[in-house]
Structure 1
Amino acid sequence: MGKGANLVPDEGEKCVSEEIKTFKWNEIRQNKWIVIDNNVYDVSKFSNKHPGGKVILLNNVGQDATDAFTSFHKDVKKVEKYLKTLKIGRVVPESDVNQNEERKDELHKDFQQLRKMAEGMDLFKPSAWFYSLHFLQLIVLDLIGTYLIYQSGYQNWLTYFIAVACLVTTQAQAGWLQHDLGHLSVFKSTKMNHFAHRVVICAIMGFSADRWNNRHFKHHAKPNAIRKDPDIRFSYFYLLGKKLPKEVGEKKKGWLPYNLQQFYFFFTLPPVLVPVFSVIEMYIYMIRYMKIKDMLWISLYYVRWYYMFATSIGVLGAIKLCFLVRFFQSYWFIWSTQMSHLPMEVDYDKDLSWFRTQLITTCNVEKSAFNDWVSGHLNFQIEHHLFPTMPRHNLYKIAPHVKKLCEKYGIEYQCKTMSQATFDIYNCLKESGEIWYEAYNS
């Protein structure tokens, strides 16, 4: 090489040396890579470091996760910096794409346009007044409940009942607030959302923030997907949908008489989910993964509960009150959330588009002041699943535009009355139980 030779390759040499690799979909599925905006990423080593948990990534391998990625990450540009190190190429444009795939791609583009419209309408901007009043509601109700317990204890059962009602409402409404914080919907700062999330769910409610995030985002990523959505893993006690009951029945398996699950469901899962199952599952998770920070935060809840109630009704009385409040809170939670999910399609992951997946697995309940308040605006379950980071007080504003997109693609948009949604829990359990019974006895 002669003196003064240029050691820096010119632009043409750069293009050759940095030529982007292309992969076909069958190769992507075989190697379990993830696709975002037609870029291919190898997440095999990164999955253990993923803040949302390893399983969320693994549940999307071999698929186009573009809509899921943009829906979950508030600051997409910031996250893209980490993605660059995982990028291995792009999806090769395939000429043999069938009509269904073309339609799926068209729906994806229309949904992205809908998202841009929502951003233009400032629907991802939280209202400080809304959340301030919501938090104030928790403080007022908690103080009223504490005062009534302190003044009368068990002496006046009417006063005690009113106190319990106030405390149950506090916990239920705190549940909706922590849900918003967990979805990064309340503050502009991600760190502030995480901090406030721990304050509400750990110190006020006594549950693990890390465990909630780990479980809840699996549900959002693959709602009602068998083996992927943790919220429908009740196989030993209940069978949901049409496919799983038939499979279990044909194998001649059945721990319980599932043809009667529409009756025993209301007396089994709701009363024990929050006060028993969630607590046991939470401590197993925290101990297994050494979630010391959550343990310390949760200790504030027990200290708070002791000084608020044990000093007036004793330690045993405080424990009984805690269980009673969580007992009724559990019914509130199950009723508000499951009426929008249980009656919908429950099946294996079909790798459908993000938009279509959310529409077949969620439904809405009519808007009203009561429905909005009692369900934490999760009566707009469809819109919440499509736009998880959107503040809940704005969900109704995007609903008409979601309906129009459904009409364009012939997708059913289900919106029910509160009574119909409640009865549909019974109806879907009954239908699934009958499918199992018929397959089991055939």
Structure 2
Amino acid sequence: MAPQTGPTKKETQPLAAFPRLFTWEEVRVHNGRGQGREQWLVINRKVYDVSEFSNRHPGGKRVIGHYAGQDATDAFVAFHNDKDLVKKYLKPLQIGELAPDQPSSEANKKESLLEDFRELRCDIEKKGLLKPDYTFFFLIFLHLLILDVSAWLVVWYFGISSVPFFAGVALFTIAQMSWFQHDLGHCSVFRKPKWNRLMQMVVINVMKGLPACWWNHLHNQHHAKPNCFRKDPDLNMHPLLFSLGKTLSMELGKKKKKFMPYNYQHRYFSSEYPPFLTGLWGPRPIMTTASPPPPQDDAFQEVPMDVTAALRKFHQRRNSCLCVYMPRYLESTWFIWVSQMNHIPMDIDYDKNEDWKTTFFLGNPNLPTLFQTFQLPSIQSCSLFPTMPRHNYCKAAPLVKALCEKHGIEYKSKTLLTAFMDILNSLKDSGEHWLEAYLHG
């Protein structure tokens, strides 16, 4: 019998059975800045070309583009609860895998830390720490709603004389809805993302007068690359008022830029930042409520245009009242002290392709359990596990601490007062770096 001349069994197998192998050097050059602006990233050792998909990415093209040429495994796992859904989008984007001799992460060659962290996440999922307690969040929302309504009823019923006015201001300020909408933005209140998004629109669009898509678009980038110049949008506003981190401070000093006397920024921080944030929460976002960003930069479809236009008019009139501006100012004051105590004291620099989880281990302090549960969503557990409900932070903290101790990473635990003082100390240090470079750079 004559030998067969057709293709062998190996040759007829689909191409997917023999994936192309890449090195980190090949992946790194496809960072969106070279010729063709191609964007590759790595998830679980698989290489994906997201050059075209980034424009359709539900979380925005910038947040996915920040990981171009890098390993995005842990950030991907942290932000996506519904893995089966996203796998449908990932599969056609795969172009190969990392070669067997390549480390799992180019940024962190400590494979043991990488493996232990992923085991920790699996353990947390098995313990049910990513599942929300609906009763807890119902009570949170109920007390916020009662405080907000009570603030308006007090002013409406008793008039705007001093006592009812300041009583209403106090009630409005205590009703910190910013934290609750933060929970919703992280999809940690309901198991289904769509319910979190719908409820977030009720809280932030209707009750706060801000566009949810605007907040999510910025906050997703912040959590993807915290405190990285040009990638964390929270840093874009700072050079006008503050000089943060040694690197930026020295750059501003050497360029002889002096928008503010940065060597005194630790003194004017508490007087300048709150009104700045109050203005940020006022006209600009409210105007953009009726003009959502393009779909590729939006995490979900915004409410209809006629509804947003009505909301815009309502909040423009509401925010023109002094009885709203003052609570917003006080709310901003509390918000910036609470939120910035684990942002400003962190290491601030350009993106060095540092390991995602190590960035949070090294920078975020842990705080007293009661406080972090009710007033502080942004701590180590939130940063490492963004979709974790805040009522489970105290259960995850010992597990995170044990992992830090095992690998010799400092587990920062501070009192509230110490955390507040660290903001001023960090601002003072940065201001001194700026002044030294300004005078002698």
Asked if the contact 2:211/2:288 (under 8 Å) is kept, the reply is: no
Q: Secondary structure at the match of 1:40?
A: strand
Question: CA offset at residue 216 of structure 1?
Answer: 0.3
Change (3 A) 1:278 1:24: farther
Cα deviation, 1:211-244, whole Å, max 9, x if unaligned, reads: 1110001000011111111112211221111111
Q: Secondary structure at the match of 1:89?
A: strand
Q: How do 1:241-390 residues align onto structure 2 when only pairs under 5 Å count?
A: 241-276=245-280, 279-281=283-285, 283-284=287-288, 287=291, 289=293, 293=303, 296-299=306-309, 301=311, 319-368=321-370, 370=371, 372-373=373-374, 375-378=375-378, 381-390=379-388
Deviation at 1:251, TM superposition (A): 2.3
Instruction: Identify if the C-alpha distance between structure 1 residues 405 and 149 changes in structure 2 by more than 3 Å, giving closer, same or farther.
Output: same
Match of 1:392 among 383, 390, 393: 390
Q: 1:317 to 1:20 in 2, by over 3 A?
A: closer
Number of the residue aligned with 1:426: 424
Greater mean alpha carbon deviation, residues 294-303 or residues 186-195: 294-303
Distance in 2 of aligned mates of 1:77 and 1:362 = 31
Residue range with higher mean Cα deviation, 235-244 or 61-70: 235-244
State how far apart, in whole Å, the 2-side matches of 1:294 and 1:342 are: 37
Residue 14 (structure 1) aligns with: 13
Q: Which amino acid aligns with 1:92?
A: A
Unaligned runs of 5+ in 2: 32-39, 295-300
Partner SS state of residue 42, structure 2: strand
**Is 1:224–2:227 an aligned residue pair?**
yes
Confirm or deny: 8 A CA contact 2:108 2:354 kept in the other structure.
no
Asked whether the 8 Å contact 2:23–2:102 carries over to 1, the reply is no
Alpha-carbon spacing, 1:78–1:253, altered in 2? closer, same or farther (3 Å): same
Give the corresponding residue for 2:131: 125
Which secondary structure state, in structure 2, belongs to the residue aligned with residue 34 of structure 1? strand
Q: Aligned with 1:331: secondary structure?
A: helix
| Change in CA separation of 1:99 and 1:150 when aligned onto 2, cut-off 3 Å | closer
**Is this contact kept in 2: 1:28–1:34, CA < 8 A?**
yes
Alpha-carbon shift at residue 126 of structure 1 (Å): 0.5
Task: Report the CA distance between 1:209 and its aligned residue.
Answer: 0.6
> Which amino acid in the other structure matches residue 29 of structure 1?
R
- Cα RMSD, aligned residues only: 2.8
One-letter code aligned to 1:428: S
Q: Spell out, residue by residue over 1:145-171, the C-alpha distance to the aligned partner (whole angstroms, 9 max, x if none).
A: 12211112213x11211111112222x
Among 204, 209, 215, the residue aligned to 1:206: 209
Change over 3 Å in CA distance of 1:286–1:260 after alignment to 2: farther
What CA distance in whole angstroms lies between the structure 1 residues aligned with 2:307 and 2:87?
Answer: 32
Q: Which residue of 2 aligns with 1:168?
A: 173
Secondary structure at the aligned position of 2:114 is classed as helix
Q: Deviations over 1:309-367 (max 9, x none)?
A: xxxxxx68962222222111111211110011111111111212222011223222222
* In structure 2, distance between residues paired with 1:95 and 1:126: 38
1:416 alignment partner, SS class:
coil
Q: Distance in 2 between matches of 1:97 and 1:80?
A: 20
Which amino acid is the alignment partner of residue 160 of structure 1?
A: F
Query: Are residues 1:91 and 2:98 paired?
Result: yes
SS at match of 1:223: coil
For 2:222 and 2:64, locate their aligned partners in 1 and report how far apart those are by CA, in whole Å.
Answer: 13
Distance 2:198 2:103 in 1: 49
Q: Which moved more, 1:73-82 or 1:250-259?
A: 250-259
SS at match of 1:90: strand
Identity %: 39
Q: 2:105, 2:142 → 1: CA distance?
A: 54
Confirm or deny that 1:44 pairs with 2:83: no
1:356-385: CA deviations, max 9, x gaps?
0112232222223x4532x2444xx11100
Amino acid at match of 1:432: S
Deviation at 1:286, TM superposition (A): 5.7
Equivalent pair of 2:103/2:109 in contact (CA under 8 Å): no
CA distance in 2, matches of 1:273, 1:295: 26
Question: Number of matched residues?
Answer: 422
CA distance in 2, matches of 1:316, 1:334: 23
TM-aligned CA deviation for residue 142 of structure 1:
2.0
- Mean Cα displacement is larger for which, 215-224 or 264-273? 264-273
Any unmatched runs of 5+ in structure 1?
307-314
How far apart, CA to CA, are the structure 1 residues paired with 2:103 and 2:357?
24
* Amino acid aligned to 1:410: G
SS at match of 1:270: helix
Equivalent residue number for residue 142 of structure 1: 148
Distance (whole Å) between structure 2 residues aligned to residue 61 and residue 316 of structure 1: 43
* Superposed displacement of residue 204, structure 1: 1.0
Report the residue type matching 1:56 in the other structure. V
Q: How far off is 1:143 after superposition?
A: 2.5
In structure 2, distance between residues paired with 1:334 and 1:412 = 25
Q: What are the superposed Cα offsets for residues 406-439 of structure 1, whole Å, 9 maximum, x if unpaired?
A: 1122111111111111111111100000011011
Query: Against the structure 1 CA distance between its residues 410 and 297, is the aligned structure 2 distance closer, same or farther, given a 3 Å change threshold?
Result: farther
Label 1:362 to 1:84 Cα distance change in 2 as closer, same or farther (>3 A): same
Tell me the CA shift for residue 52 of structure 1: 0.8
Quote the Cα distance in structure 1 between the aligned partners of 2:326 and 2:409. Answer: 42
AA in 1 matched with 2:147: L
Residue in 2 that maps onto 1:179: 182
**Aligned residue for 1:312?**
none
Q: Is the 8 A contact 1:199 1:297 kept in 2?
A: no
| Distance in 2 between residues matched to 1:179 and 1:433, nearest whole Å | 31
2:12 partner amino acid:
E
Distance 1:302 1:61, change over 3 A: closer
